[in-house]
Structure 1
Amino acid sequence: MNPTAILSALAEEQQGLLELLQRPQITRHAGRDFWQGELHGQPVVLALSKIGKVAAATTATALIERFGVARMVFTGVAGGLGEGVQVGDVVVAADFLQHDLDVSPLFPRYEVPFYGRARFPGDADLTALLYAAACAALAPVDAGRSSALRCPRARVHRGLLASGDRFVSGSGESQALQAALAGAGHAVLAVEMEGAAVAQVCLDYGVPFAAMRTISDRADDSAHVDFTSFVEQVASHYAQAIIERFLRSLSIK
């Protein structure tokens, strides 16, 4: 059975998953560590994409070419842009776009040259499984008690993720970015730095891809506040719980 690749940009986002990996074997390739093993009954490869679109594309290509992965899932953090997307929420990507890509006037703004599109969809079946896993992980345990993972009023959203080689961290910049994308017909939920690149690689190779992002900030002037603490104390636990449910759902699919 070909393995499932689980990608994150930061080591802290994946630490809990690595600690649970059974029969781990490490391979050093393309300047990266790839951890092969088993999680919740499924063969997996854990890898850090590093930060940015080029690094993410390199890692995704290596996972496909070297390890023959059957599918790819990205888990990490993002800045919330969409209305109602708050810190502690989870966004599961329906599709992906590069917000810093502009080859106009040769091509429409945001369109990837020679692909005829600006947005790359996640795999529908894989995204549905990941969305269901996220909803289950954040759902109240019972009518009177919330899940230990749940931030106050945390929600799961599904929609557009925008990627770019810039850490969006100012109110003016985030508002301008949201307005520019909306003006082009792209209602974005969150912004990050890797997803669209991985989506494009996976499309090229015909490998199913899905991604989830925990909202660590609102991509504004407070985006740097306690970022590391949030990743370690919240996002990593979300990833562990959601990926467990996702992998178990693969076993019964």
Structure 2
Amino acid sequence: MREKTVLLQGAMEEECACFLKHMKEPEETVIDGWHFWSGELCGRPVVVARTFIGMVNAAVSTVLGIRHFSPGAIINQGIAGAHGLDLEIGDIVLGTRVMNGASFQSEKLDRGQGSRWEGWKPLPLEIRGEMTRDNTFLSDPGLIAAARKAAASGSFRVVEGCISSADMWNREYDRIAFSHAAYGTMAEEMEGAAVCQVAAGYKIPVLSVRAISNNERKDGAYAPETADICARFVMAVLAEYGRI
């Protein structure tokens, strides 16, 4: 029986390039402006999707990818900004949970009382008429197990935790530190939670993985080339996933 296809997602060209370089004879398909490449990687069928940046783009790309390629699993990957103070450029964050970092309800404050994001409460999300418990999604246990085996090789520095997604780039030290302490967020990016929400509606296993490209709690230097590190880790995950 042919193995089910894994949909590998990257928002930017840098986040897809490593996969395309190692794929056997990738075949490009463009659907309504979104790009997909079908082929073989690590001995199994894959589709690489360039989702473009942002939650809406990622959601649309995911729906198109599911409808046209019927994947058995989705790995959303790429680069992210660190929330953990000890995270370094190139570290891998394995998202055991993914949080919609914009899905909160603020407390009621009167004029002149300002904004107190410390009092915001997680706001549930709707999936096909059903409300989630809060604003987080769990990654698939089988994919997590494969990722842990890949991490055990020692070739990558991997930490586990929550990845936050929203259409924003936080550069406020105190807000980042609060999110890390209050919600266990290890990193932030701009696509993963939307992908998880769509995948949940289709009941497709999903995993979120990110390589740290910048840490605003340190010098904030941005290194998008760490996308290659994340892609190489994901290929190691693919190899392990085929053995489970």
Which band: TM-score by shorter chain? 0.7 to 0.9
CA contact (8 A) 1:34 1:45 kept: yes
Distance 1:40 1:137, change over 3 A: farther
Q: Which residue of 2 aligns with 1:78?
A: 80
Give, in whole Å, the separation in 2 of the partners of 1:23 and 1:127: 28
Paired residue for 1:30?
A: 32
**RMSD over equivalenced CA pairs, Å:** 2.1
- Counterpart of 2:143? 126
Give, in angstroms, the shift of residue 178 of structure 1. Answer: 3.4
Is 2:244 aligned against 1:247?
no
How many residues align? The count is: 226
Q: How does 1:83-232 map to 2 (within 5 A)?
A: 83-104=85-106, 109-113=121-125, 114-136=131-153, 138=155, 155-168=157-170, 170=171, 173-179=172-178, 182=181, 185-220=182-217, 222-223=219-220, 225=221, 227=222, 230-232=223-225
Cα displacement string for residues 58-107 of structure 1 (whole angstroms, at most 9, x for unaligned residues) = 1111111111011001221111112422222110001011112224569x
Q: Please state how far the C-alpha of 1:19 moved relative to its aligned partner.
A: 1.3
**Partner AA of 1:162 in structure 2:** S
Q: By percentage of residues, which structure has more strand? A: 2
**Deviation string for 1:120-155 (max 9, x for gaps)?**
11111102212322442625xxxxxxxxxxxxxxx3
1:163-185 deviation digits (Å, cap 9, x = unpaired): 110122x2xx2421431564xx4
The amino acid of 1:196's aligned partner reads A
Query: Distance between the aligned counterparts of 2:177 and 2:86, measured in 1?
Result: 14
Deviation at 1:24, TM superposition (A): 1.6
In structure 1, C-alpha distance between the alignment counterparts of 2:218 and 2:25, rounded to whole Å: 43
Q: Given the superposition, is the C-alpha separation of residues 191 and 240 from structure 1 closer, same or farther in structure 2, using an over 3 Å criterion?
A: closer
What is the percent sequence identity of the aligned residues?
Answer: 28
Given that 1:81 and 1:174 are in contact with CA atoms closer than 8 Å, whether structure 2 keeps it comes out as: no
Is residue 97–residue 119 contact of structure 1 (8 Å, CA) maintained in 2?
yes
Corresponding position of 2:111 = none
Q: TM-score, normalised by structure 1?
A: 0.81
- Residue 15 of structure 2 aligns to which amino acid in structure 1? E
**Do the aligned partners of 2:74 and 2:204 also contact (CA within 8 Å) in 1?**
yes
What CA distance in whole angstroms lies between the structure 2 residues aligned with 1:90 and 1:181? 16
Distance, in Å, in 1 between the alignment partners of 2:205 and 2:13 is 23
In structure 2, the CA distance between the partners of 1:240 and 1:213, relative to structure 1 (3 Å rule), is closer
The letter of the residue matching 1:167 is W
Residue 11 to residue 131, structure 1, CA distance change in 2 (3 Å) = farther
Indicate conservation of the 8 Å contact 2:150/2:233, yes or no. Answer: yes
Gaps of 5+ in 2: 109-119, 126-130
Aligned residue for 2:22? 20
